[in-house]
Structure 1
Amino acid sequence: MKKCHIAYLACTAALLGTGLGAAPSVAGHTVHVVRPGESIQKAVDAARPGDTVLLTSGTFHESVKVSTPGLTLRGMGNRTVLKPDPRVSTSTATSTATSTTSAAASAASAASAAKATQSCAEGGNGICVLGTKKRDVKGVTVASLTVTGFTKAGVFSMATDGLTVRHVTAVKNGVWGIATERSVRGVFQDNVARNNGDAGLFLANTIKEEQGAADTKGTVVEHNRLEGNRIGVTVRRLRDLTVAHNHLTGNCAGVFVVGDENKPKAGFVTVAENHIVRNNKSCPKTAKLAALQGSGIVLTGAEDSLVTRNVIEENAGKSPLSGGIVLFKSFVGTTSDRNRVTDNVLRDNSPADLINTDTGKGNAFMGNDCRASKPSGLC
């Protein structure tokens, strides 16, 4: 593995040094190098499965749509920045989810590249990874870059299988930092999502339709830093998903696991070993949610989930959802059932460390290190 990594870096260095746009890389795949002022979309459309599109240092004013399986879109860390193209008008009311088509994996003309870019950009998104209703796009990686200033999402994905988003910084995007829907086996790891309009990381079954919770088949959200968003991580109408080892601070709420009246219910979500501290930003109510402030972890309308070994400190507010760990009957009347809240450390959360206002059955609070609960006796 180490030799392969060294070989990859050597190949990349050679490409940058010689100024070549594309050349053979390890294992027969190609690295397509793109510099500021050149078209990322054109390189993506020219790539084959398994290829890498490498963005050099600098600022790119572009949106990019990826539908090639196995493609890696990689930058040079914080030195690679994607911002909106000021020449493209956007509409946050129109989601890229409704304009998805199957993209060609072979080389495309400049006209087709422009069309593909607009289908993402006009939806207000920075990077879009899109499958189709009939086929998920598999094995795509987005890594080591910054996306900022987009009116909807920095990175948006739909109908993906095995998508990896790693070392991405999503800052000051209008709705979500990184968002995914109708996808399975995702890995969202070592990202920073800061000061986005809604969730730093948003994961859902589907955004526009009413459907039962979907099985993510083991999606993982881990080692991310989520700061200054409305909600750090939102898990909406999903099952079989893990949120672990993340640091959440300065949001209005840390982690939301949300279900509703549809069947199957949201559930089988594990929230473990996160550090959730001072999520005390104040956010006004919306059409679907009360005002938020001082919420650590909220479960509403969820079943058979595990909240364990988290450290939750100094989350304080006067919202109905304020508190360290809160079980809350959903606003559409769905109860939370058979959830386990175990072995967490909670300090100085207000109005209490543990709160259960749900009327669901089989919820258990065990082994938590805390001082105050509503009702009393949960600590």
Structure 2
Amino acid sequence: MKKYPLTYLVCTAALLGAGLGAAPPAAHPGHRVHLVFPGQSIQKAVDAAAPGDTVQLTVGTYRQSVKITTPGLTLRGVGRDTVISPGDTKVAPAADRAAATGCAEGGNGICVVGSKDRDVRGVTVADLTVTGFTSTGLFSMATDGLTVRKVTAVRNGVWGIAQERSVRAEFRHNTARNNGDAGLFLANTIRSEAGAQDTRGTVVAHNRLQGNRIGLTVRRLRNLTVEDNLLAGNCAGMFVVGDENKPKAGALTVRGNRVDRNNKSCPKTARLNAIQGSGIVLTGAEDTLVTRNLITGNAGTSPMSGGVVLFKSFVGVTSDRNRVTDNVLKDNSPADLVDVATGKDNTFRGNDCRASRPAGLC
């Protein structure tokens, strides 16, 4: 890609921003901005960038995938009209995608990936759309301090935005809509059995997760916060998933979210029963605080239907010492609060609700 002086590139980006919306922030002194137009290779710009640089995409559609391994790199569009969608690269069969080494070959749009021995630190992805990928719109693994902000992930085959084996991430002001599985999926690992990972304070805040199978899945993780999100129109709003591995999933906070009418009907899969009308579900989780959420209109007849549901894990592990406090719950069916986990020391206090199973939790 042809190189331009930093001052030219920053000014060009500012001029584009003036015509297309607010100008993107300039890079810090000493850091370069690599400007990319539709039809050009994002990957070439990423490969040419140094730590701390910005790869700035303009408005338009980029039919390609991109893999980021450079620490401190920022990949930024100028809003939803900067679109990354699949190109012509052959995608591996579904059974082989987990082992695929390339981002596009795995059916993914953007990949932020560290190594087995070293996390990639301080990457930011912001202000763009990823859509139409057979696996995941934006996938990250082995990252430290990843920021994903104002990304729209729509109609991807499995997950909209997903992360594994990572710490201290921030997912803020994103939209994940009509993806095949979870709009936002966070896990320790899906390739092997392992205990829950301490995320060291990952934050999921102010996101809109709508029309997916599950709005948000938190699988085998600890020490994170989920706050002020909208989870609506999915088959299930949120799952916190644990199992028999140690440490168990949990020790996290779910607060201030709006969980509304997650009443799509999704059929049974190899891992999960049919789901419909599930608000917030804890399975095999411990020490989780669910507080000050507005949970309304989640109604269904599946085993995990209801407003807040405590359920045994898929291998029969109970949910223990969870606290469900000060939530407002209305018009959830079969009940606002459901506890079929037969766990120990779960508490339900200060909730504004009408019906529970068993009776007496409201």
TM-score bracket, shorter-length normalisation: over 0.9
Give the aligned residue type for 1:74. Answer: R
Distance (whole Å) between structure 2 residues aligned to residue 298 and residue 310 of structure 1: 13
Q: 1:241-320 alignment to 2 at 5 Å?
A: 241-320=224-303
Q: 1:219 aligns with which of 175, 194, 202?
A: 202
Cα deviation for residue 11 of structure 1 reads 6.3
Q: Which runs of 5+ in 1 are unaligned?
A: 1-7, 18-23, 101-118
Residue identity (%):
71
Query: Secondary structure of 2:96's match?
Result: coil
Distance (whole Å) between structure 1 residues aligned to residue 95 and residue 37 of structure 2: 32
Name the counterpart of 1:41.
43
Cα deviation for residue 358 of structure 1 reads 1.1
Q: Which moved more, 1:32-41 or 1:329-338?
A: 329-338
Give the aligned residue type for 1:216. Answer: T
Q: Deviations over 1:68-118 (max 9, x none)?
A: 00000000101100000034334333346x455xxxxxxxxxxxxxxxxxx
Distance (whole Å) between structure 1 residues aligned to residue 97 and residue 10 of structure 2: 37
Cα deviation for residue 311 of structure 1 reads 0.1
Q: Deviations over 1:107-154 (max 9, x none)?
A: xxxxxxxxxxxx100000000000001000000000000000000000
Query: Secondary structure of 1:54's match?
Result: strand
| Contact in 1 for aligned 2:260/2:298 (Cα 8 Å) | yes
| Contact in 1 for aligned 2:89/2:104 (Cα 8 Å) | no
Q: Which moved more, 1:81-90 or 1:288-297?
A: 81-90
| Contact in 2 for aligned 1:127/1:155 (Cα 8 Å) | yes
| Contact in 1 for aligned 2:150/2:172 (Cα 8 Å) | yes
Query: Secondary structure of 2:29's match?
Result: helix
Name the counterpart of 2:29.
27
Q: State yes or no: 1:12 paired with 2:43.
A: no
Query: Secondary structure of 1:120's match?
Result: coil
Q: 2:66 aligns with which of 64, 67, 75?
A: 64
Give the aligned residue type for 1:51. Answer: D
Give the aligned residue type for 2:190. Answer: I
Name the counterpart of 2:6.
none
| Contact in 1 for aligned 2:17/2:78 (Cα 8 Å) | no
Cα deviation for residue 331 of structure 1 reads 2.1
Task: Considering fraction of residues, name the structure with more helix.
Answer: 1
Q: Deviations over 1:203-260 (max 9, x none)?
A: 0000110101010000010100000000000000000011110001110000100000
Q: 1:172 to 1:15 in 2, by over 3 A?
A: closer
| Contact in 2 for aligned 1:156/1:178 (Cα 8 Å) | yes
Query: Secondary structure of 1:121's match?
Result: coil
Name the counterpart of 2:76.
74
Query: Secondary structure of 1:28's match?
Result: coil
Query: Secondary structure of 2:103's match?
Result: helix
| Contact in 2 for aligned 1:15/1:33 (Cα 8 Å) | no
Name the counterpart of 1:106.
none
Give the aligned residue type for 2:30. Answer: G
Q: 1:352 aligns with which of 335, 340, 343?
A: 335
Q: 1:181 to 1:87 in 2, by over 3 A?
A: closer
Give the aligned residue type for 1:73. Answer: L
Name the counterpart of 1:162.
145
Name the counterpart of 2:5.
none
Distance (whole Å) between structure 1 residues aligned to residue 40 and residue 93 of structure 2: 25
Distance (whole Å) between structure 2 residues aligned to residue 189 and residue 240 of structure 1: 17
Distance (whole Å) between structure 2 residues aligned to residue 286 and residue 192 of structure 1: 25
Give the total of aligned pairs: 347
Name the counterpart of 1:88.
90
Query: Secondary structure of 2:252's match?
Result: strand
Q: Which runs of 5+ in 2 are unaligned?
A: 1-8, 19-25
Query: Secondary structure of 1:77's match?
Result: coil
Give the aligned residue type for 2:160. Answer: G
Q: 2:132 aligns with which of 149, 169, 174?
A: 149
Query: Secondary structure of 2:281's match?
Result: strand
Distance (whole Å) between structure 2 residues aligned to residue 173 and residue 228 of structure 1: 12
Name the counterpart of 1:137.
120
Name the counterpart of 1:111.
none
Query: Secondary structure of 1:167's match?
Result: strand
Query: Secondary structure of 1:12's match?
Result: helix
Distance (whole Å) between structure 1 residues aligned to residue 27 and residue 264 of structure 2: 47
Name the counterpart of 1:21.
none
Q: State yes or no: 1:376 paired with 2:362.
A: no
Name the counterpart of 2:318.
335
Q: Which moved more, 1:78-87 or 1:367-376?
A: 78-87
Distance (whole Å) between structure 1 residues aligned to residue 225 and residue 92 of structure 2: 33
Query: Secondary structure of 1:94's match?
Result: helix
Cα deviation for residue 313 of structure 1 reads 0.2
Cα deviation for residue 289 of structure 1 reads 0.9
Q: 1:292 to 1:258 in 2, by over 3 A?
A: same
Distance (whole Å) between structure 1 residues aligned to residue 344 and residue 85 of structure 2: 48
Name the counterpart of 1:175.
158
| Contact in 2 for aligned 1:91/1:122 (Cα 8 Å) | no
